[in-house]
Chains A and B, each alone.
Chain A
Amino acid sequence: MNKGSIVAGVLAPHPPHLVYGENPPQNEPKSECGWEGLRWAYERCRANIKALKPDVLVVHSPHWPTVVGHHFLGLPHFKGLSVDPIFPHLFRYNYDVKVDVDLSLQIRDVCAKADMHTSVVKNPDFRLDYGSIICLHLINPDWDIPVVLISSNQAAFYFSNEVGAQVAKDLGEATRQAIEISGKRAVLLASSSLSHRHFVHEPDLPEDMSFERIHHHGQYLWDMKVIDMMKKGQCRELLDIMPEFIEMASAEVKVGSLNWMLEAMGVPNYPAVVHGYGTVIGTGNAVVEWNPSLKGKN
């Protein structure tokens, strides 16, 4: 068996607005339009990912928070209705998901060997989190690639951003090892916004784009700073300033999704492809791809 590898990693934000704006058949609410900048960014990224023909998509999502260690899905199939508790008027999505249980358990095993606490979901009534569902839909609306979902351990909230970063690093290294053992070609998805301060009001028509803007200019500056580092291949430096970014921009990456992905990829030092940036109800979101096969082609 060939050694498995991570063929790409994507910073894949999960605002439900993007699915709402697209009007896929799985989503019950319907819109006129909306958030095209980010949706088109996803379309560009989607084409690159499809061309890679990955065996599995591995997602780390802030909307599956866990207190004790890292949790994985242990059943091959989950079907249900995902309703966003914050934006239920925008996202009520009927999902039907194939899980790569073998890889789930392989990552779990590597984690356990490294003394990390783990748990496996074996309850068929379990509802998958909307953060995972949304970014998976946006990357692969055909749902024809099996997935692995990893919960977000809350260490950063209980201890500090630095501890959270280390927990994410260890999980990333375990993910890489397990993928290598599996022989599979994996794409990692860090399901996360950048700056993450919301407006508490919404226009009567949610997709009224005249309303859409960043919550605060300082957050925009921080978002641009970290995106610039991504474009320059400065991921090590980005990881160094991540705790400060989290504090200053209320960044959603606090839960470790981006750290996990960058560490799993060996902290890329080549320029990322920034497919697009846009705000969603005040938060900053970028679709960014690290794809070794595109090195030097940007």
Chain B
Amino acid sequence: MENTIVSKAYIVSGLPHILLAPEQSPGWARLNAAYKDLREDIAAQDADLILYFSTQWLSILGYTFQADPNPEWLHVDQDWHELGSIPYKFTIDTDFAETYAGEVDQLGYKTKLINYRGFPIDTGTIVAQKLLNPGNRLPAAIVSCNMYSEKEETTRIGQAAARALKKSGKKAVVVLVSSLSNRFHTHPIDPREDKISSRKDDEWNRKVLDMLAAGDVEDVAQTVREFARQANGDQKFKGMWWLNGLLGQSNNFEGKIYGYEAVWGTGAALVSLEPTVPVQAISLEKSMGSEEGSQAEMVEELTNFDYMATLSKPVKLKASHPEPELRTSKADSTAHLTKIIERVEATKRLADYEIVSKGSAEPVGTYPHARRYGDLLFLSGIGPRQVGSKDIPGIVFDSNRKVVAYDIRVQTKAVIQSVKRILEDAGSSLDKVIDIQVFLTNMKDDFPGYNEVYNEAFKDIRPTRTTVEVGALPTPIAVEFKVIARP
């Protein structure tokens, strides 16, 4: 593709098991083989450099850039030292490192060019380089992952990379080195029976992979916070913000999943993203005033919206990526840790967050559409009002906005539609409703019509139900549902 600063982007796991011990586990071997396919894919790219962002290279003082022209060492991972040593020698594009650091400087963040003998390049970058670009065919550039950075900042660091590519007139292969879910098994395992550490993490990984398979990079970036919370994303999965910033914050990609396996319980995926339209850099001015702007970010932080889930429609699982080998593990030798956990009665924290549904009418007070607590979804009282307006279906006003007529059937249908939308935005559905309380303002006249519509919707679902008459409801509606459902 012409006029693009990125020929292709990749997301890879950088755990050393894939490089050093593929023979120990069928899953690790499949990832090793998939890495070979990626390597061949990269070899076919018309690119000037390979740019790495690894969640395993953490910085505190802003951002650091590898600027040693030929860093060389014999690396041993601190945790996985039993797997062996990894000799490495990189060829670094130091000109690009300087240009990139210059662009980040302009954003006001601290930068540092690293050119020290023996500087410990992180395991993730080394593993990726050994498996993707072993002969230094492409010179590399490596930028750190700031441990304190949030969405706005990390996105801007990605945008700065795009500007640096444009400024240097170079085209890059971009590599994000990051696991998806990042919960390791905390006990010895038989690698042949490695599996994702929990079904929940596996399900979240698959959601993300389905979006990536569809090329929806921007969509994934929007779900990073929720994913990180639910699946212990690797460094909060913030690398995705960097990648999204660099790639122009769009869904214009063709995604391909080369592999998805467990590596010691973590979600290890190999993904490629090919631009369907040229990737372009956005200007510094636009970057500073982007929708990721500081004010929006600050409001989000200060109002603790971190705990607010605005999930889009649940993504149906497609067989677009390989199934991980999920086998039953042998009896784990976890006696000690298990005892500890029992002793301190450590319990998993119950999920507790709000759901705001973009497809439903705005709340008339300071409450969310729904709240998930543990394994239950509690919906606020839902009326028939329509999203984006104050219209109430099936109602006729006179010139003084006094109600002269209304259709309880139409209103009930609208309520059920709203309930359905909120449930779906929360990842649930109408058939998961377990209890409904119904409030009518005129039991005598409205019960038959409401009951008829209700029966159509719920006759097969059969939630428990209580119907009461109330003196009035806020706004001139005639019916409201209060729903409890399974998520």
By a beta-carbon cutoff of 8 Å, the part of chain A in contact with chain B is 64-69, 71, 81, 83, 85-89, 92, 114-117, 119, 121, 123, 125-127, 129, 151, 154-155, 158-160, 162-163, 165-167, 170, 198, 200-202, 281
Q: Does B230 contact A (CB under 8 A)?
A: no
In the complex where A67-B184, A68-B186, A162-B344 touch, is A81 in contact with B61 (Cβ < 8 A)?
no
A86 touches B78 (CB 8 A): no
Query: In the complex the two chains form, what is the Cα distance from A49 to B333 in whole Å?
Result: 40
B118 touches A81 (CB 8 A): yes
Query: In the complex the two chains form, what is the Cα distance from A38 to B264 in whole Å?
Result: 41
B residues contacting the other copy or chain, number (CB 8 A): 44
Report the nearest A residue to B78, measured CB to CB.
A64
Q: How far is the CB of B103 from chain A (nearest CB, A)?
A: 18
Q: How far is the CB of B439 from chain A (nearest CB, A)?
A: 41
When distances are taken between beta carbons in the complex, the residues of chain B under 8 Å from A69 are 187
When distances are taken between beta carbons in the complex, the residues of chain B under 8 Å from A119 are 81-82
Query: In the complex the two chains form, what is the Cα distance from A94 to B81 in whole Å?
Result: 21
Q: DSSP majority for the B interface?
A: loop
Q: How far is the CB of B472 from chain A (nearest CB, A)?
A: 45
B346 touches A123 (CB 8 A): no
Query: In the complex the two chains form, what is the Cα distance from A281 to B148 in whole Å?
Result: 14
The answer, among A67, A121, A166, for a CB contact under 8 Å with B81, is A121
Q: Does B1 contact A (CB under 8 A)?
A: no
Q: Which residues of B63-109 are within 8 A (CB) of A?
A: 74-76, 78-79, 81-82, 84-85, 109
Show 20 residue pairs from A and B whose CB-CB distance is below 8 angstroms, ordered by the A residue: A64-B78, A66-B79, A67-B185, A67-B264, A68-B184, A68-B188, A71-B79, A81-B118, A85-B120, A86-B60, A89-B116, A117-B187, A123-B82, A155-B340, A160-B344, A162-B344, A163-B344, A165-B344, A200-B110, A201-B62
The answer, among A117, A158, A200, for a CB contact under 8 Å with B61, is A200
Query: In the complex the two chains form, what is the Cα distance from A81 to B75 in whole Å?
Result: 12
In the complex where A85-B58, A88-B119, A200-B60 touch, is A67 in contact with B79 (Cβ < 8 A)?
yes
Query: In the complex the two chains form, what is the Cα distance from A151 to B112 in whole Å?
Result: 29
When distances are taken between beta carbons in the complex, the residues of chain A under 8 Å from B251 are none
When distances are taken between beta carbons in the complex, the residues of chain A under 8 Å from B84 are 123
Q: Which residues of B347-377 are within 8 A (CB) of A?
A: none
A117 touches B76 (CB 8 A): no
Query: In the complex the two chains form, what is the Cα distance from A127 to B123 in whole Å?
Result: 13
Q: How far is the CB of A219 from chain B (nearest CB, A)?
A: 15
When distances are taken between beta carbons in the complex, the residues of chain B under 8 Å from A163 are 340-341, 344, 346
When distances are taken between beta carbons in the complex, the residues of chain B under 8 Å from A158 are 183-184, 186
Query: In the complex the two chains form, what is the Cα distance from A81 to B120 in whole Å?
Result: 10
With A71-B81, A83-B118, A200-B109 given, name 14 new contacts (CB 8 A). Answer: A67-B186, A81-B118, A83-B119, A85-B119, A85-B122, A86-B59, A89-B116, A115-B339, A117-B336, A126-B81, A129-B78, A170-B340, A201-B110, A281-B60
When distances are taken between beta carbons in the complex, the residues of chain A under 8 Å from B337 are 117, 155, 167
Query: In the complex the two chains form, what is the Cα distance from A87 to B84 in whole Å?
Result: 27
Q: How far is the CB of B14 from chain A (nearest CB, A)?
A: 15
Interface pairs A-B: 5 shortest CB-CB: A115-B336, A81-B118, A67-B184, A125-B85, A162-B344
A117 touches B188 (CB 8 A): yes
The answer, among B78, B148, B186, for a CB contact under 8 Å with A200, is B148
When distances are taken between beta carbons in the complex, the residues of chain B under 8 Å from A66 are 78-79
When distances are taken between beta carbons in the complex, the residues of chain A under 8 Å from B109 are 200
When distances are taken between beta carbons in the complex, the residues of chain A under 8 Å from B264 are 67
Q: Which residues of B175-231 are within 8 A (CB) of A?
A: 183-188
Query: In the complex the two chains form, what is the Cα distance from A115 to B334 in whole Å?
Result: 8
Query: In the complex the two chains form, what is the Cα distance from A163 to B341 in whole Å?
Result: 6
The answer, among A67, A86, A201, for a CB contact under 8 Å with B58, is A86
When distances are taken between beta carbons in the complex, the residues of chain A under 8 Å from B188 are 68, 117
When distances are taken between beta carbons in the complex, the residues of chain B under 8 Å from A71 are 79, 81
In the complex where A85-B58, A201-B61 touch, is A159 in contact with B85 (Cβ < 8 A)?
no
When distances are taken between beta carbons in the complex, the residues of chain A under 8 Å from B335 are 115
When distances are taken between beta carbons in the complex, the residues of chain B under 8 Å from A151 are 78
Chain B 118-129 near chain A by CB (<8 Å), digits 1 or 0: 111010000000
Q: Which residues of B320-343 are within 8 A (CB) of A?
A: 333, 335-337, 339-341, 343
Report the nearest A residue to B87, measured CB to CB.
A125
Report the nearest B residue to A160, measured CB to CB.
B346
